[in-house]
Amino acid sequence: MSTPNDIPLILEPDELEQLLDRPQLLVVDLSDIEKYRHRHVPSAVHLEYSRLLRQQPPAMGLLPTAAELAAVFSELGLTPDTHVVAYDSEGNGRASRLLWTLDVVGHEGYSLLNGGARAWFEEGHPAESGVNLPAASVYTVEDTDNADALADRKWILDNLQRDDLVVLDARSADEFSGLDRRAARAGHIPGAVNLNWTDTTDPAENGRLRPAGELMELLTDRGVTPEREVVTHCQTHHRSSLMWVVLKSLGYGRVRGYPGSWSEWGNHPDTPIATGR
C-alpha cells in the first residue's frame, strides 16, 4: 500500500534519509522524551504518547475527543498536505497508534519507519540531539464516531456474529487464554484469533516487519483473510495498532482498531468472554 504521494506506508530508513528535505514531510518521534532529546532523526519533532489516549478508568486507551485531537495535530503543525512519518524506540506500537489515529480523522499522508529508532541508529543513519519545536497550525478534526478505522464496544457487539468479520487479538498467548489476567475478567472476545504482535517483527532485522509472505501466512493460518473485515485489539490498542498497520500494508481493505481493547472489554460486566486457546 502506498499513500497518495507515493511514499510507501512502510518506509525503510534508507528511503527516509533521502526524503528528509522534502517539503510537507513531518517526522514524529514517539519515544520517551529523554531518548528523543539524546538522539533522534534529523528534523524530527516529539509527541508524548499519552496525548493520543483518553483514559477513562478502567479503559485506558480510548480515542481522545475531536477537539483534543485537533489541538494535538495543530501543535504538531499538521496541514491536510502534511505527510507524517512516525517511529519510536519501543517496537513501533506507539508510532502505529499515531498512524491509526490519523486514519480515523481522515488524514491521508502517513508512513511507518520500518524498524523504528533501532533500525535507524543501528544502521548508521544521521542523528541529532536537542528539541525541535514545530510551527503550529490550525488543524480541524470532525466528529470521528463513524470513522471506518474505528470499532467501539457497541460496534463489536452488534457485528460479532458476522461470518465476514474476524477479531484479531494482538496480546500474548497467556493473555488470550486467560492465564495472564490484566482486567477484572481474563480471556478473549468469543471467536477472536490470536497473533502476538511481536511475531510480526524480526529481531535479526533490527525490529523490521517480517516479509509480506511470512506475514500473510501468519494471518491466513488464523483465518484472517483479505476479504474479511478485521478488528484489531490488545490491552489498550497499542500493540494492536502495529497489527493494524501490518494489515493495511498487506492490502486488507477493511481494518478497524478497537481503542477500548481489553482494558474496556475485560472490565465490563456484560461483555461475553471466552477462555482457552
CB distance 19 to 255 below 8 Å? no
- CA–CA gap between residue 79 and residue 270 (Å, rounded): 41
Query: Distance between CA atoms of 276 and 48, rounded to whole angstroms?
Result: 36
Active-site hit among 69, 234, 243, 245? 234
**234 classed as catalytic:** yes
Report the Cα 105 to chain-centroid distance in Å: 14
My answer on whether omega of the bond before 58 falls inside 30° of 0, hence cis, is yes
The beta strands (E) that lie in 59-196 are given as 59-62, 83-87, 110-113, 165-169, 193-194
The grid cell for 147 is 470513522
Q: What is the DSSP-derived secondary structure letter of residue 203?
A: G
Q: Which residues are catalytic?
A: 234
